[in-house]
Amino acid sequence: RTLRNAPVSLETLGPDGVTWTVVSTGTTGPHGKVSFLEPNSEGASYRLSYAGGARLAPCVSGTVVS
């Protein structure tokens, strides 16, 4: 199912290895895609999160390490 026009957050994992922090937000397009142009740090962990809505549960993506 495509998630259109939905707010999505780009998060990075803090140095404690537990806390995720929002570094940017974006909105999905008509085909459910979103992109971010953020500088990354070598070895940093990132994920996308969606807070949920009236009919959809919150969710997070898998973690990507740069």
Q: What is the pTM of this model?
A: 0.87
Q: Is residue 60 predicted with pLDDT exceeding 90?
A: yes
Q: Is residue 66 predicted with pLDDT exceeding 90?
A: no
Q: Is residue 38 predicted with pLDDT exceeding 80?
A: no
Q: Record the tokens describing residue 47, joined without a space.
A: 């994920």
Residue with tokens 């806390």: 19
Q: Is residue 63 predicted with pLDDT exceeding 80?
A: yes
pLDDT grade for 61, boundaries at 50, 70 and 90: very high
Mean pLDDT of 15-36: 95
Assign residue 20 a region (left: φ > 0; alpha: ψ between -120 and 50; beta: otherwise): beta
Position 51, amino acid: A
Residue 34: closest CA among 66, 5, 63:
5
Residue 6: closest CA among 31, 23, 24:
31
